[in-house]
A and B are shown apart, each in its own frame.
Chain A
């Protein structure tokens, strides 16, 4: 970190910017922030139903199964695909027996990942209000490139991981952020509305997203 380009120059700029800001803000007083607004609190069942509704609205796949049915649900989401990359730490009982597992160890190159069609992961938490899955890229989810380059992402979420609101979801990953982990918030497949504001699902990120919610765990 001592090897910064133009280090002296930057140090001068740093002092200059901070001085200007301090002078500019000297009359400012921080306001008292109001509490975070609360909406209606939903029941567990209503939260899961809302989550399903939001996921489907993003044109992603959704399946809700008992623990015993996960492997079958994954097989359905695979849609005929015979191999998938799977991060360390994912519960192997969730995967169909006939699936060829590709491992990220030794690390797969970008080109190798580009040749793999599907990735299967868990998640850190999910938010029903917005249909959002949060990955904190610990065991069971893999590094960021794993869930980015393959074109299909199958994400297995435990029902107990689904919270209702955005602040609940962000709070649930606070400790991993503090620990330095990166986060990826995923709400449906990759999309763009850049041409005449017509939403097109599937640009650079995974073009297909399937979410499997496992009940009772």
Chain B
């Protein structure tokens, strides 16, 4: 994975991920744990659905006049002593951060977990300029030390279990070597390693959960205190914020302080949230830069169906309830945005012509659990279906469409349908083994790639019914055939035509 860009189509990437039993077991455990916790955190608020509707409307309002709010945010951050920069793409944002670091002759900086910075591949770019970015979030530190990539929005090292982290920390952290696998011990080691960095590093980079236009305020939501350290102790702070994160007024923030923690970590409130407006005299960094990043977001905004994706507050509730994510894991999506939200956000940010990213809308069974869990009511299944359509739109009439037209003809009259079934029964002969078809030729192979097809039975329901009627007429009493559908092995009931 590199940033946003998947290196493989989803089905190929998922295939290799599915081979890891360890990964699947880690994922099943954590996604099920957090699912249960989220449900109880949400059940505490009887007005949860109304909060979701308000969250949705608040984000829609912000997006409808986005440029006005961004300009007001810029004005107010500047009025409070901060500096505001704009970046059309990842390259420009990386350049801005690197230039600020170079101006301060910084060789090492500390970072708060920021998916936006991962999206623009900031660490790699800084590294190439001789600047080392230290991740301070525990999970991001695990990912960085093991030269891995994040696999979850909230818990980037969700694919690692405690034994793996124990081995990693004992190997990589200076002065360690005898850590137990207790999470408290492992967290203690991270504290020891990072403490000195927090107290002495001159520059920090953060993302932003929200920007508030009318007060010029930036917000970082976190748990460990690494966020507070980074936004408070260094002399220079740079925050990178996607343009869609702006809210019009201070009054708009409350609903998200209710929706986000309960959806994300399933807590009533996350341990720490920091708000700051520009520079505060005698408190915190005395130089503050806010980088406003587009990087494809304006393109998403232009799409009437797709723009709801920009409401996302990166809570990761949709990942935790998704049956596809639970099995394939975050790496299969090949992007810093995995799971259902990634399946719609990544291809839209990159454009549907990206041949790896445009397979992502297929990474769903359309069960709809993500929509139910989404605190800002992004209708992910709707966008998935829409994007699937966008992928095929420009291809002209396909074999699939011709096949569907054939099906329509066959199924529009009983006699045609029966004829087609009879033909299929003859045609399937060489493909059937033990009553199932595990391989189909050509483009039909897509169906059998990951599942078996039940063979057409020797007798169709219509044939059975006629036989039954005949027998009854003969004997004057019902004598169901021993081949009746009810007696047959109903292995794949849905797949028997």
The reply to whether A184 and B228 contact each other, CB–CB distance below 8 Å, is yes
The reply to whether B51 and A37 contact each other, CB–CB distance below 8 Å, is yes
- Given known A166-B257, A177-B277, A187-B270, contact A21–B66 (CB-CB < 8 A): yes
The reply to whether A143 and B283 contact each other, CB–CB distance below 8 Å, is yes
A32: B residues at CB distance < 8 A: 57
The reply to whether B58 and A144 contact each other, CB–CB distance below 8 Å, is no
Residue in chain A with minimal CB distance to B85: A10
Is the CB of A160 closer than 8 A to any CB of chain B?
Answer: no
> DSSP majority for the B interface?
helix
Residue in chain A with minimal CB distance to B190: A203
Is the CB of A132 closer than 8 A to any CB of chain B?
Answer: yes
CB under 8 Å from chain A, chain B span 97-121: 99-100, 103
> DSSP majority for the A interface?
loop
State the Cβ distance, A168 to closest chain B Cβ, in Å: 9
- Given known A170-B250, A195-B183, contact A180–B51 (CB-CB < 8 A): no
- Given known A4-B85, A30-B60, A190-B224, contact A37–B50 (CB-CB < 8 A): yes
The reply to whether B85 and A185 contact each other, CB–CB distance below 8 Å, is no
Q: Would you list the 7 A-B pairs with minimal beta carbon distance, nearest first?
A: A205-B225, A37-B47, A24-B302, A204-B225, A37-B50, A20-B298, A130-B269
Give 18 new A-B contacts, CB below 8 A, not counting A144-B284, A182-B280: A18-B86, A20-B299, A21-B243, A25-B301, A32-B57, A34-B57, A36-B54, A54-B268, A131-B269, A184-B272, A185-B275, A193-B155, A194-B138, A194-B187, A198-B183, A203-B226, A205-B271, A205-B272
| Sample (26) of A-B pairs whose CB atoms are under 8 Å apart | A5-B85, A9-B92, A13-B88, A23-B298, A25-B63, A25-B67, A25-B302, A30-B60, A32-B57, A33-B57, A33-B61, A34-B50, A37-B50, A110-B199, A144-B228, A144-B283, A145-B232, A145-B284, A166-B254, A180-B280, A182-B276, A182-B283, A184-B228, A186-B272, A187-B269, A203-B226
Residues of B participating in the A interface, judged by any CB pair closer than 8 Å = 26, 29-30, 33-34, 45-47, 50-51, 53-54, 57-58, 60-61, 63-67, 70-71, 78, 80, 83, 85-88, 92, 95-96, 99-100, 103, 136-139, 142, 155, 157-158, 161-162, 165, 183-184, 186-187, 190-191, 194-195, 198-200, 215, 217, 223-226, 228-229, 232-233, 243, 250-251, 253-255, 257-258, 261, 265, 267-278, 280, 282-284, 292, 294, 298-299, 301-302, 304, 307
Residues of A participating in the B interface, judged by any CB pair closer than 8 Å = 1, 4-6, 9-10, 13-14, 16-18, 20-25, 27-34, 36-39, 54, 57-58, 107, 110-111, 114, 127, 129-132, 137, 143-145, 148-149, 166-167, 170-171, 174, 177-178, 180-198, 200, 202-206
